[in-house]
Chain A
Amino acid sequence: MSITNLLTNWSDFRQQHPSAAHPHREYKWAMSIDLDSCTGCNACSVACYAENNLPVVGKEKFAHGHSHHWMRIERYWDNDGREFADQGAQFLPMLCQHCESAPCETVCPVGATNHTADGLNSQVYNRCVGSRYCNANCPYKVRYFNWYNYPTTENVWPEPMNQQLNPDLSVRSKGVMEKCTFCVQRLRASMNDARTQGRLVIDGEVQTACQQVCPTGAITFGNLVDPSAKVGKQWKQQQVDLNIDKQPKDAEEKAAKLRGYRILEELRTYPSVMYLEQLRESAV
């Protein structure tokens, strides 16, 4: 890509994301997470470690904030000063939101993180120089930096534990930023299969590791462009529009509310993950 080409055709490369003028063509991967089903059990997080070659950093490095949980469960309390947390906790599975207008992308000095045509916020490890600007700019704090060369660090993958590593994706080395990829290795395998057969990926054909393991089925993942996909139906029913930063339904005063929302939407990041609000019974 020459710089002349880049500048001449700027709008093709970097339009104002997202835009109705440039809709996603075949794929737009998106997720929805039902917080009323999520029990905070951490199965998704462990599944992510298994699928994505995440290093176990140990107590000391964890204390320094060096943990690598691409999928983590945040736990909030809503006590309002009451003596007990008598309505339980609020669990929130937090992962890369794959923002359509991602703050991390604009600050990368080397273009290591950028948007793919199918709507992923991708991270090119080979291009990453470790400036960590993206990490600083991410409002969700879902980017994880390799402060050490974990493959050679003691007790991270000692023999024979290294045999468990998933060969479908790389093991990252020191100085590289990493984050949730929506299990891009699974997506690519399934998209390639579909293309070979001259079709598009069918809803349910590909699952992310966290979605696959979730005991309560709280996570739905799929192609937002596909009208038959469950994830798209959920977004539509909840009246959450990917391309706008203030959902009209939030301004309406209605008796029956819709649960869908996106986190920190007001920052105009246009996240690809919709959450459904947790519910609590008022009769007890």
Chain B
Amino acid sequence: MIENSFNRRNFLKVLGWGGATAALSGCGNTSVEDGKEFVTSYVETADYIIPSIGTYFNSTCAQCDAGCGIMGRVREGRVLKLEGNPKASINNGKMCGLGQAGVQAHYNPDRIREPLLRNGDRGEAITWEKALGLINEKVGGVNAENIAFLTGVVSGHDKALLKNYLDALGSGHHYVYEAVAPSVIRAANKKAYGVEMPRLRLDKAKVIVSFGADFLGAWVSPVHFSQQYARFRKPDSGERGVLVQVESKMTLTGANADRWLAIRPGTEGILALGLINALAAAGLSVPGDVAAAVGGYTSERVSKDTGVSAEHIGKLAALLKERSPSLIIAGSAAEGYAHGSQNAAAIALLNQILGNVGQTVEAPSSTPFPQMAPTTGNRLALQSLNDNMAQDKVKVLFSYGTNPVFTAPATMKLKENLKKVPFKVVFAHYMDETAVEADLVLPLNSAMEDWATVIPEYVAEGAQLNIRQPLMEKLYPGTLGLGDILLGLLKYRRPDEYNGFEDFYSYLRNAMVTNKDALGGASKDGDTFWEAALSHGGVKMVGEPVNLSGNVSATTLVVPAPFVEDATYPLHLIPAVSASMRDGRNANEPWLQESPDPLTTIVWDSWVEMHPKTAAKLGIVEGDIVEVASKSGAMKAQAYVFTGIHPDVISVPLGYGHDAMGRYAKGVGANAFKILDPVFDKETGELAMHETRVKVTKAGKRVIIVKDEGPAGGNQMGRKIAVRLTSNKVNLSEEV
């Protein structure tokens, strides 16, 4: 038989089947041979798919609220890696580490895979029909006034649908909460410039003085600012921009400053007024009322109050006068006090005096669809929700995109108040601290499986609507996107309006195509417009420029005298927002846990930063486990001693210390949110994040800190490894 029919083709057939059988049975899977499953040939592939070649699809990053455009590399139906979308005006093809880790949120083994209904201490898997029916039943059974929807920042069609759902319920209680947000700065900007978030043109500035704004690390839109920063440092003219960072605890931006000024916590406003006074003395024309108001802020007094030497104040004023335009930025370190609004106003006044408004502080565009414009959040919203829960005014609570049980200070007693709400629905990715408290947990699609439109708070140019589209099939059939859930709920309430839409995708596509004229697609037919929008990852819109208006009045501006020291709690606690951990929502992504903190190089744990002087006074050395106690609580962590912090200050990173969420986050470090004191900004009512006073004591144990830096601790031991030069010795304009 072999002699007759054995040829090459048959040989390969036999070999191939043998190999396949071996491979399949090796996996314990013989369904192909049993005929239960079919093997589909790659000869007829789906469009754009070539086996082993990656295809890129554009979408929008969901790791923070900056809204960078991303490209997902998809191969054989799996998303492998995220790259920046080169056509996105916010990030121009670049990304941060946090954004890169988005794939680890998507493929995370700890994701919730089906709706869970509370049964005692357990969650029982139920179907979506049952879950949505149950919600509808519960919201129908209570007064609409007693329904509350808590979310993080929302924008785009999700926001429009959410509003429609709340309208359909007859309840306007939408609380928007961000655990770490520049809320006070937004309010101060609104007063000083007429807009909450003006465009900051770092690339146009010759000098930047940042009062604790970590724009390279975790502030507003760090990837965008990083690109501007690169042009600021190396403009075509070769005139390198100078960055001065004023803060009590060094941030990543501070670590890149030409001069890092360690300031006594809370005295940022005093320094700003002192600089105006010094500028006036140096001959800058300053309006009479301003000059009179700042006249008392002499170098000597300001130096005494702030701890910044008179020499540095003089040099900085001279530099600001000589090099124009400059840019003064108020960040989280300036706003985090009871007088945060005044600090921010004083800093805005400095910008005004230097003539930067209109130069480096530019007007943003409005968005033509205000119903989709982002609603930013603050902590005040959580406070009022909490008060309502305490008074039993909330009967049904929805929570989406936030984790308040983790991020609320212990003094709020949020977890206890939550128990008073009879029915709590939590939209969640993981079983985080809030989802654990829920009565019904709705598992969300990952950002790589979901449809959405996003309008970021900070848009780099014009107005834009970013699209988030699925980069691959859903990993679990039991998850849904926010849009789909809201649509499902709306179908109960307004069937005539919404039953026509099979899913959120068809709703979204219809909404976009119907409005294509306003979305820049007037000349295209519906399909072409939609395909183009998807392929670009968003659409550009024509927005009206918003005029910068507003003014800081020097006469009404009062900046309080520096702190009186507290004998029991002698140190100031600065809860640090790091580029990777932020408010802790991404703590279950292992790349971020293993990515060393840029300044301390510590991984997989919390730490307490302190100055060598402070450590010496307290008898603490690196690795000592210390207890940090405030009036509101205490936490323990390892001490790290370095010179990037003011001696009156200690700092603990936020985002660590989860007691739920997942295998990579749970039990790693301690939660600094919990020990924050309830002190609020006097004008806006925001929680003053930097107002907590603490005492630090040794807890007895000592550990070896797990960190990336070697035993030399950042000393080059005389070797020429990382080299530094003064900028006047180099001609940058000649460089390539």
Contacts and interface: CB of A to CB of B under 8 A. Distances in A.
**Same complex:** yes
5 contacts: A41-B579, A59-B668, A75-B601, A278-B724, A281-B259
B95 A86 contact: no
B130 interface: no
B244 A284 contact: yes
Interface of B: 52, 75-76, 78-84, 91, 93-97, 100-101, 103-104, 107-109, 216-217, 222-223, 226-227, 229-230, 233-234, 240, 242, 244-245, 250, 252-262, 312, 315-316, 318-319, 475, 579-580, 590-596, 598-599, 601, 603-605, 613, 642-644, 663-664, 668, 704, 706, 708-709, 714-716, 719-731, 734-736
A35 interface: yes
A208 interface: no
Given A47-B100, A50-B81, A215-B226, A41 B260 contact: no
Contact of B722 (A57, A67, A91): A91
A116 B10 CA distance: 41
Contacts of B261: 86
B96 A76 contact: no
Nearest to B258: A281
A213 B643 contact: no
B612 to A, nearest CB: 9
Contacts of B604: 58-59, 62
A73 B83 contact: no
Interface stretch (A117-125, A240-248, A254-262): A254-262
B230 A218 contact: yes
Contact of A230 (B93, B726, B736): B736
B728 A282 contact: yes
Nearest to B601: A75
Interface string A29-41: 0000011110111
Nearest to A254: B729
The 7 closest A-B pairs by CB, nearest first: A46-B97, A215-B226, A59-B604, A216-B230, A281-B258, A90-B722, A56-B590
B15 to A, nearest CB: 24
Interface of A: 34-37, 39-43, 45-47, 49-51, 56-59, 62-63, 67, 69, 72-79, 82-92, 155, 158-161, 163-167, 209, 212-218, 230, 233-234, 237-238, 255-259, 261, 263-264, 275-284
A161 B109 contact: yes
Nearest to B226: A215
A62 B727 CA distance: 37
A85 B82 contact: no
A163 B724 contact: no
Contacts of B252: 39-41
B260 A86 contact: yes
Contacts of A257: 725, 729-730
A164 B100 contact: no
Nearest to B53: A189
A80 B318 CA distance: 26
Contacts of A258: 730
A284 B258 contact: yes
Contacts of A277: 723-725, 730
Nearest to B68: A215
Contacts, number: 286
A50 B725 contact: no
Contact of B736 (A63, A166, A233, A263): A233
Given A76-B721, A89-B714, A91-B722, 5 more contacts: A39-B216, A77-B642, A87-B724, A216-B230, A281-B240
Given A73-B596, A257-B730, A284 B316 contact: yes
A7 to B, nearest CB: 38
A163 B107 contact: yes
B80 A166 contact: yes
Contacts of A215: 91, 94-96, 222-223, 226-227, 230
A212 B83 contact: yes
Contacts of A76: 714-716, 721-722
Nearest to A94: B721
Contacts of B255: 39-40, 85, 88-89, 91
Contacts of A45: 97, 595
A216 B227 contact: yes
B93 A212 contact: yes
Nearest to A218: B230
A17 B502 CA distance: 67
B615 to A, nearest CB: 13
Nearest to A230: B736
Contact of B256 (A39, A42, A74): A39
B42 to A, nearest CB: 15
Contacts of A62: 594, 603-604, 706
A256 B731 contact: yes
A86 B308 CA distance: 11
Interface of A is mostly: loop
A154 B219 CA distance: 35
Contacts of B729: 255-257
Given A41-B579, A59-B604, A263-B721, A73 B598 contact: yes
Nearest to A217: B230
Nearest to A259: B730
A41 B727 contact: no
A160 B643 contact: no
A63 B318 CA distance: 48
Given A41-B226, A75-B599, A233-B736, A47 B97 contact: yes
A43 B590 contact: no
A35 B722 contact: yes
Nearest to B593: A56
Nearest to B644: A85
B329 to A, nearest CB: 16
A249 B316 CA distance: 34
Contacts of A75: 598-599, 601, 709, 714
Contact of A284 (B80, B312, B579): B312
A62 to B, nearest CB: 5
A263 B716 contact: no
Given A39-B216, A87-B258, A163-B107, A59 B605 contact: yes
A60 to B, nearest CB: 8
Given A41-B579, A215-B96, A85 B250 contact: yes
Given A40-B598, A67-B708, A237-B735, A85 B726 contact: no
Contacts of B96: 41, 43, 213, 215
Nearest to B724: A278
Contacts of B256: 39-40, 88-89, 91
Given A50-B82, A50-B591, A281 B109 contact: no
A37 B234 contact: yes
Given A39-B216, A62-B604, A284-B315, A217 B598 contact: no
Given A73-B596, A215-B94, A159 B109 contact: yes
A241 to B, nearest CB: 16
B100 A43 contact: yes
Given A41-B217, A85-B643, A87-B259, A213 B84 contact: yes
B100 A50 contact: yes
A95 to B, nearest CB: 14
Contacts of A36: 233-234, 240
B331 to A, nearest CB: 16
Contacts of B603: 59, 62, 67
A83 B309 CA distance: 13
Contacts of B260: 84-88
A46 to B, nearest CB: 3
Contact of B262 (A47, A86, A155, A167): A86
A84 B262 contact: yes
A11 B596 CA distance: 44
A217 B728 CA distance: 23
A73 B595 CA distance: 10
Contacts of A275: 722-723
B704 A63 contact: yes
Nearest to B223: A215
Contact of A46 (B595, B613, B643, B726): B595
